[in-house]
Structure 1
Amino acid sequence: MWYIFFPGGNYMKQMHLRVDDALYEELNTYSVETEQSMQACVREAVVYYITDKKKKQIPILKSQFTFIDLFAGIGGMRLAYENVGGRCVYSNEWNKYSQQTYYANFGEQPEGDITKVDAKTIPDHDILVAGFPCQPFSIAGVSKKISLGRKTGFEDKTQGTLFFDVCRILKEKRPKAFMLENVKNLKSHDKGRTFKTILESLDELKYKVFFAVLDGQNFVPQHRERIIIVGFDMERYGDDIEFDFDITPVNPKPVMRDILEKKVDDKYTLSDNLWTYLQNYAAKHRAAGNGFGYGIAPLDGVSRTISARYHKDGSEILIAQKGKNPRRLTPRECARLQGFPESFVIPVSDTQAYRQFGNSVVVPLIENVAKLIVEKIDLLESDVQNEKRKAI
């Protein structure tokens, strides 16, 4: 008999479960293979079962386009694409806590390890969406092939990285377009070799590529620069494609006080020891001529960039308090800082919530880009239909 825990609110609910010996052995083997607890394995199985049943029972609503959500996190990009008329037909995210948040908000469990997913099993879709992790590419094998006069392709250059999985899915499914999101420093990562390899690989796959660094502060009170890479299928549309990141900032621009809660628990106030440490740390770096240190967010301005490390001390974005030490943002305020709606459920601990929102995207910024991509696809499809009519 096991106690199996399921997320509910900000806590876990438990239930008893009995299984026969054969099933127990199967679960035990799977537990060892996946390096998960038996409890986690059973929860995963139940969630997948419920998700599959829901998909079969719920009628497919008419949508403007379909998309898949890779390296999905907690679904920030899914929210953005659904807001402009899209329907998500597949999602993938390996982190179990992010899976919990995703399930709480979308009613489905993202598939796990993307490296083990057969691209043929992924549903057809119009747009591939991915916030893939940034990894260095090994160029040793590629350099050897070049020295021997042999051709190299994206499979040689990107094998072993998670970007390779994006490429193999693009190759297999040929979506009309894709959108990739990453940190601004992707362009300079590994002395520029990473970004060069990415562009070469996408070009080899016959996609016309456009990219720009966009700042989230046009939509939320946070300075957050991210690189957005967009591509359109040249096998379908030809290479005479133009695309502009002509985003439309919100007006008036929101400021920090717009996202703050009226009453905040004292647990978010920094302890005397932590506040003293942060002040001393900042003073030491100022004396050395460095700019490192905590940041008090201006109430009528924008904050620094929130990151996954925010759970450690909250130092990059602190809120001043009268007669008290500064405080961290609450998880709900972090959600607002990234442009998530008030209805977004936060079923995990504060620590996990900080990590998740720190790793997520500015939803309204991605929504703006999504709208531009969909509009461009509509124009390109119209041109394709016109050419077909002329050929008749």
Structure 2
Amino acid sequence: MEHMNKLNTIELFAGVGGFRVGLEKANPELFKVVWGNQWEPSKKAQDAFDCYASNFDEGIHSNEDITTVTDEAFKNLDAQIVVGGFPCQDYSVARSLSGEKGIQGKKGVLFWEIKRIVEATAPRYVLLENVDRLLKSPASQRGRDFAVMLATFRDLGYTVEWRVINAAEYGQAQRRRRVFIFATRNDTGFAKELESYESDDVLFDKGFFAPVFPVKREVIKNRRLHGVLPDDIVEISDTFSASFHNSGFMKDGEFFSIHTEPVFEKAVPLADILEPEETVDEKYYLSEAAVEKFKFLRGAKKIERTSAAGHKYIYSEGGMSEIDDLDKPGRTMLTSEGTTNRSSHVVEVNGRRRFLTPVECERLNGFPDNWTNTMSDRMRYFCMGNALVVGLIERMGQRIEQIEKKHTVEVPNQEKFFLEQP
């Protein structure tokens, strides 16, 4: 197919726009973000939103509590894709008091807003990102939260595939591990194509992730999981427990999950993302006192502490290198980056130690230089600690483009989909 219509895209919990940057890098002619929402509750300053609005011209930039946006507003967007990274929270559910209105999700859990928007728009595709512990949470009932999500997509009429991806294992500059979740509507050509494959073929070769994030065709340590989700989502919330692995596939409530190993690509080393030293401001260099503080923070230690209840215990911590290896990709960046704490990157160049600059942190995530220069350094570090690795989304955008080229003509219109829903 030589021509494809633009895919109207809704970007939720947008931050500084990582999904949009990645999709537009993949194909700016295909992906059209028509509505991007970023709202930080309980804060007067909306730094991430201001950054988003300053970097993008087209589409509606929403700085409002998403729970207040009406279903009708979403329907009017005619969206084919919904994307977003969302908080990892407690996804326990319960029946409504009347028992007649289905289930209720725990208040404040933003996944239920994703569900509401998918119900309102019936997008062709949904692409989400979260921390990988989502697959095993909560600790007291492993896998429950993710199973609730899978059942939600099942009930909405979607096939789901997931993959835990470490960005550095696929040629990126940061060792950042996240779970990505791709859902495709059951009546699309791609969903129908997947029905013709065995589950292993989906996960190793034919599904959404494998063509752009290849894995070895073997199940690590024979870690397999196969099951069927209970029809009742409240039953899942109350009793379900399973150990989902890093790759998986769900169709009509039947799920398959295996432990895969990536076909490694050479990562970008820290040395390659550093700014020229002559351009680095003196404020990023460590004082002698800070150098000594980092020696302590990163050293092995055993410290006696007293709990709130009054009993004493020994807190122990293993040692790590005082400086980050410039020949390796960066470690996972946290929101506390650039402060004197154990997790901040410290590099040594020409015998002097310093923090990474905000531009270098942008490069760790694959953003253009000075993408976040609308805000203070502290907030630039914070936003990059929250951001995703753009290069991964770029590949996923390329994969969606492949799927569209193959299946666009087979996709029924959304109005028909709405009419056929029970």
TM bracket (short chain):
0.7 to 0.9
Q: d(CA) in 2 for partners of 1:162 and 1:294?
A: 38
Number of the residue aligned with 1:57:
none
Of residues 200-209 and 368-377 in structure 1, the stretch that sits farther from structure 2 once superposed is 368-377
Number of the residue aligned with 1:181:
129
Q: Which residue, out of 61, 77, 81, partners 1:127? A: 81
Find the residue that maps to 1:209 and give its secondary structure. strand
Is it true that 1:88 corresponds to 2:36 in the alignment? no
Number of the residue aligned with 2:294:
278
Cα pair 1:223 1:304 within 8 Å, conserved:
yes
Matched residue type, 1:69: E
Cα RMSD over matched residues? 2.9
Gap runs ≥5 in structure 2: 41-45, 195-206, 215-263, 304-314, 413-422
Q: Which has the higher strand share?
A: 2
Number of the residue aligned with 1:97:
47
Distance 1:112 1:350, change over 3 A: same
Post-superposition Cα deviations, 1:302-345, rounded to whole Å, max 9, x if no partner, equal: 12100112143264321113443x21110000011101123735
Cα pair 1:215 1:224 within 8 Å, conserved:
yes
Number of the residue aligned with 1:165:
113
Q: What is the number of equivalent residue pairs in this alignment?
A: 318
Cα pair 1:314 1:329 within 8 Å, conserved:
no
Matched residue type, 1:99: F
> Matched residues, percent identical?
30
Of residues 209-218 and 185-194 in structure 1, the stretch that sits farther from structure 2 once superposed is 185-194
Where does 1:1-392 land on structure 2 (aligned, <5 Å)? 64-83=6-25, 84=27, 85-95=30-40, 96-107=46-57, 109-122=61-74, 123-139=77-93, 141-142=94-95, 155-157=103-105, 160-191=108-139, 192-217=143-168, 218-237=170-189, 240-242=192-194, 243-246=207-210, 247=212, 253-263=267-277, 264-285=280-301, 290-291=317-318, 296-313=323-340, 315-316=342-343, 317-324=345-352, 326-342=353-369, 344=371, 346-384=373-411
TM-score, normalisation: structure 1:
0.73
Matched residue type, 1:93: Q
Find the residue that maps to 1:120 and give its secondary structure. helix
Matched residue type, 2:85: G
Cα pair 1:314 1:328 within 8 Å, conserved:
no
Aligned-residue offset at 1:203: 1.1
Distance 1:204 1:81, change over 3 A: same
Q: d(CA) in 2 for partners of 1:235 and 1:383?
A: 9
Cα pair 1:176 1:377 within 8 Å, conserved:
no
Matched residue type, 1:117: V
Cα pair 1:215 1:223 within 8 Å, conserved:
yes
Of residues 280-289 and 169-178 in structure 1, the stretch that sits farther from structure 2 once superposed is 280-289
Cα pair 2:92 2:145 within 8 Å, conserved:
no
Matched residue type, 2:299: A
Number of the residue aligned with 1:14:
none
Aligned-residue offset at 1:113: 0.9
Q: d(CA) in 2 for partners of 1:378 and 1:99?
A: 33
Gap runs ≥5 in structure 1: 1-61, 386-392
Distance 1:135 1:284, change over 3 A: same
Distance 1:120 1:241, change over 3 A: farther
Distance 1:236 1:284, change over 3 A: closer
Distance 1:314 1:112, change over 3 A: farther
TM-score, normalisation: structure 2:
0.68
Matched residue type, 1:173: T
Aligned-residue offset at 1:220: 2.1
Aligned-residue offset at 1:290: 3.2
Matched residue type, 2:68: K
Cα pair 2:66 2:113 within 8 Å, conserved:
yes
Aligned-residue offset at 1:248: 5.4
Post-superposition Cα deviations, 1:180-214, rounded to whole Å, max 9, x if no partner, equal: 00111111221322211111111111110000001
Of residues 161-170 and 62-71 in structure 1, the stretch that sits farther from structure 2 once superposed is 62-71
Aligned-residue offset at 1:159: 5.1
Cα pair 1:281 1:293 within 8 Å, conserved:
no
Post-superposition Cα deviations, 1:31-80, rounded to whole Å, max 9, x if no partner, equal: xxxxxxxxxxxxxxxxxxxxxxxxxxxxxxx9632211100000011111
Aligned-residue offset at 1:176: 0.4
Larger RCO of the pair (alpha carbons < 8 Å, separation 6+): 2
Q: d(CA) in 1 for partners of 2:274 and 2:157?
A: 46
Q: Which has the higher helix share?
A: 1
Aligned-residue offset at 1:104: 1.6
Q: d(CA) in 1 for partners of 2:370 and 2:190?
A: 42
Q: d(CA) in 2 for partners of 1:284 and 1:298?
A: 18
Post-superposition Cα deviations, 1:234-291, rounded to whole Å, max 9, x if no partner, equal: 1445953432312259975421111100121121112333332232233343797633
